[in-house]
Structure 1
């Protein structure tokens, strides 16, 4: 696959970030369990699907799928053409997804490698890489605008199978582990199914001709944050979310 190939001209400009985002459906056998979001990440010659760990394995809720499905575009001229791609989560009883720990414990991000030779012919996708984790001389600060691109409640453009984006901003001190956990906060309006969405910030300085380079990958959306002491009648939800710092991908995708 030629990772540098640009999307051919289309009647309407298409953000390449939408081809880097995937709708995940989890299964046990043929039984559909949940919907979630994810995105593609390239490390050298390897391609990974990134999502939350709780999407693939969650002991508190008893969620233990054995495979997932994603939809892949197969035509640049007709985005309605897709192929359903099944990814097993175990081989010989051994988990194929990776997990990582930090100083606070288990990180709610996982990756699973995708075999390039298994992809359908003419697969059209884009992937973030290590360069998207770099600040590129742009300061990141509280209040900065963000986009969280995914499939809330499984919702998407069902004709062209493209994700939707929620606008957000950084809601806690960026670079500081909120309450010593490996995440920062955002203030997006999110729903179930958004788990695993990339949390993106548009760069001020962008290399011409490299549309995906316009985005900096700051984190991976995980869960909504609320207060247990909140009066559910008198007080609205905080509307805050946890976004795990994306630099853990350097650990998860290491050879």
Structure 2
């Protein structure tokens, strides 16, 4: 330092930097799962002891050691305070169930159909994902003008729940995003959910692009899957949670089945399951993101069957179409 003024200015800069770090630390801890916070505490204690040993055997002033011990104690208080956080009901629920929401379609005030959907976050924007035929389907003369979705409003009490109405047309223009590929229209649609539409205390989980990553794990025919939704509208009507069906991959994964952007699953499904997320539980240790144990593979669309099947002699194939989830990167792009 050239003079006392420069030294003073540098000390002030360091104080400002420390205050910023003090604000960052609790924010980072808030984003960790309870198990991650426990691991962080264990690691912090180990690194603290190693640093203390180095300091004790170094030629430093007592002021440095005293400042070290003071800040260690302060950081431990922050970690312990978060460890004592009272668990909420949502903490005890599998995160997958909080990504799913029921969808009811309306034409004016008349109820048309029920379906399933789930939340997908792209950056700061939140999207509702379902099938394209849920929002509009000329083949069945299905033309709703709005939908209602359900949202929890209290993480501590999942019985607290409200319905949110979303228009699917504004000024005569459809609000959903859809895609086509070489096989034609993809039966997946995304509609943005503005923050202004979310109720106070809204409690939900959302997939994001990290859940589309394979993370080095192979996905192959026969792999176990889970489909979370609202078949025939059925769900836990007290806590307003979806139910899940076990499934497996029934066609070559990564290959477009019959040149369509989908693969087949083997599961027992019903009407109302349209738009459900099709997920696979990761084999490796997940990261600390709330829904990270799940890899989002697809969006359930419809049951598959043989037109030539003898209804008297042959059972249904029990196969379903799931559209590849990577289409969401296109549908939610800025």
On whether the aligned pair clears a TM of 0.5, the verdict is yes
Q: 1:208 to 1:217 in 2, by over 3 A?
A: closer
Q: 1:116 to 1:6 in 2, by over 3 A?
A: farther
Higher share of residues assigned helix: 2
1:9 is aligned, of 87, 100, 116, to: 87
SS of corresponding position for 2:92: coil
SS of corresponding position for 2:139: coil
Equivalent residue runs for 1:91-170 within 5 Å = 91-170=170-249
| Equivalent residue number for residue 178 of structure 1 | 257
SS of corresponding position for 2:292: helix
* CA-CA distance at 1:4 after TM superposition: 4.6
What is the TM-score of this pair, normalised by structure 1? 0.96
The answer (yes or no) to whether the contact 1:49–1:114 under 8 Å persists in 2 is yes
Higher share of residues assigned strand: 1
The C-alpha deviation readout for 1:143-183, integer Å capped at 9, x for no partner, is 00000000000000000000000000000000000011110
SS of corresponding position for 1:108: strand
* CA-CA distance at 1:208 after TM superposition: 4.8
* CA-CA distance at 1:17 after TM superposition: 1.1
Please list every run of at least 4 consecutive aligned residues from structure 1 whose deviation after the TM superposition is greater than 6 angstroms. Answer: 5-8
Equivalent residue runs for 1:148-227 within 5 Å = 148-227=227-306
Point out which structure has higher relative CO (alpha carbons under 8 A, 6+ apart).
Answer: 1
What is the TM-score of this pair, normalised by structure 2? 0.74
| Equivalent residue number for residue 230 of structure 1 | 309
The answer (yes or no) to whether the contact 2:278–2:300 under 8 Å persists in 1 is yes
| Equivalent residue number for residue 109 of structure 2 | 30
| Equivalent residue number for residue 98 of structure 2 | 19
Partner Cα distance (2:217, 2:103) in 1: 32
* CA-CA distance at 1:211 after TM superposition: 4.0
The answer (yes or no) to whether the contact 1:132–1:213 under 8 Å persists in 2 is yes
| Equivalent residue number for residue 64 of structure 1 | 143
The C-alpha deviation readout for 1:10-68, integer Å capped at 9, x for no partner, is 46821011111010000011101000000000001110000000001000000000000
* CA-CA distance at 1:206 after TM superposition: 2.9
The C-alpha deviation readout for 1:106-134, integer Å capped at 9, x for no partner, is 00000000001221111001100000001
The answer (yes or no) to whether the contact 1:206–1:213 under 8 Å persists in 2 is no
Gaps of 5+ in 1: none
